[in-house]
Chains A and B, each alone.
Chain A
Amino acid sequence: MVEEQAAAESMPDAGAIDALDRAIIAATQAGLPLVPEPYRQVAEALGVEAEEVMARLRRMLESGVIRRIGVVPNHYALGYRANAMVVWDLPDARIAELGRRIGALEFVSHCYHRPRHPPEWPYNLFTMVHGRSREETEAKVGMIAAMLGEADRGHQLLYSSRILKKTGLRLGG
């Protein structure tokens, strides 16, 4: 992950993708075909060579346009019913150091620095913490709080109570 980001940051044109890249993205957004030669199938649908599709996917992996290729587990369906967005008010000067430490914990799946909106919203670090029960999730949040010590100037758990919409990210043309 660290290497991946460092590589992406050193490439100023990492986001420079062309029409064929976008077509490949659009063709694989719903997922990779479950056939022995999935990249060939994508290539045939787009009227290009399989080698071309593979070369572009490799390049996008290198530049960070593609984070990774693999499975996305459904935490909820796998028994992790208590998934909380946990938000923290941490000293700005220590956010990178602490963010990396929290992000390294195995039960944290996302860890982002986001802006505060005081006074309504004093939090600057967002994490997703997964547990099979609220007790388990809260115990994990307690471990993070203990690790942070004085740097934890306040945190809150926001459980999701309902999915109102879930279509995934879509990319036009």
Chain B
Amino acid sequence: MKLDALDRAIINGLQGGFPVSERPYAEAAARLGTIEAELIERLERLLEAGLLSRFGPMYHAERMGGGLTLAALHAGPEVYERVAEQVNAHPEVAHNYAREHHLNMWFVLATETPERIAEVIATIEAETGCRVFNLPKLEEFFVGLRFEV
């Protein structure tokens, strides 16, 4: 899909600040120099094409009372697929990425309560036989808003 100037303006200009009002698309459209129906259609297309992974409120998991962490482990090539399956089978695992490093599996755990993080990690260690490194966020300096296309 080829992006035109309006698509770019939507991607660049709508990464935050979408209004909370009766007709928010009409309001946001006016700011972008377009109309409500056009903005809605563009968002549909960008989402369908996968150029946007999401449109809506971004929640701050820790502030909702749950637990959130980044965890990493090393799995050898001969067990890698099995370990990935065992890790992914946990509903608390939100994303899991293979990365090029000795620690070659990186996953995000999101749990209903902060205490549950340690339990899920212990279970994954027992199931996989791999040591899990728990890397919770201690402080946040910035979480993306300014991505430009």
Please state if A103 and B103 are interface contacts (CB–CB under 8 Å).
no
**Contacts A71-B52, A72-B54: A120 and B142 contacting too (C-beta < 8 A)?**
no
Distance in Å: Cβ of B63 to nearest Cβ of chain A: 5
Interface centre among A37, A50, A104 (most CB of B within 10 A): A37
**Which residues of B lie under 8 Å from residue A141 when comparing CB positions?**
none
Distance in Å: Cβ of A138 to nearest Cβ of chain B: 13
Please state if B63 and A65 are interface contacts (CB–CB under 8 Å).
yes
Interface contact tally, CB-CB below 8 A: 244
Q: What is the predominant secondary structure among interface residues of chain A facing chain B?
A: mixed
**Contacts A36-B23, A110-B144, A170-B91: A69 and B17 contacting too (C-beta < 8 A)?**
yes
Q: Considering only CB atoms, which chain B residue lies closest to A105 in the complex?
A: B142
Q: How far is the CA of A120 from the CA of B40 in the complex (A)?
A: 49
Q: How far is the CA of A57 from the CA of B56 in the complex (A)?
A: 11
The reply to whether the CB of B146 lies closer than 8 angstroms to some CB of chain A is yes
Please state if A100 and B141 are interface contacts (CB–CB under 8 Å).
yes
The reply to whether the CB of A58 lies closer than 8 angstroms to some CB of chain B is yes
Distance in Å: Cβ of A107 to nearest Cβ of chain B: 9
**Contacts A35-B40, A50-B22, A85-B106: A110 and B142 contacting too (C-beta < 8 A)?**
yes
The reply to whether the CB of B127 lies closer than 8 angstroms to some CB of chain A is no
Please state if B54 and A31 are interface contacts (CB–CB under 8 Å).
yes
Please state if A74 and B97 are interface contacts (CB–CB under 8 Å).
no
Please state if A73 and B23 are interface contacts (CB–CB under 8 Å).
no
> For chain A residues 29-87, which have a beta carbon within 8 Å of chain B?
29-32, 34-40, 50, 54, 57-58, 60-61, 63-75, 77-79, 85
The reply to whether the CB of B76 lies closer than 8 angstroms to some CB of chain A is no
> For chain B residues 21-77, which have a beta carbon within 8 Å of chain A?
21-26, 36, 40, 43-44, 46-47, 49-66, 68, 70, 72
Residues of B that sit less than 8 Å from A by CB = 10-11, 14-18, 20-26, 36, 40, 43-44, 46-47, 49-66, 68, 70, 72, 84, 87-88, 91, 93-101, 103, 105-108, 110, 112, 133-149
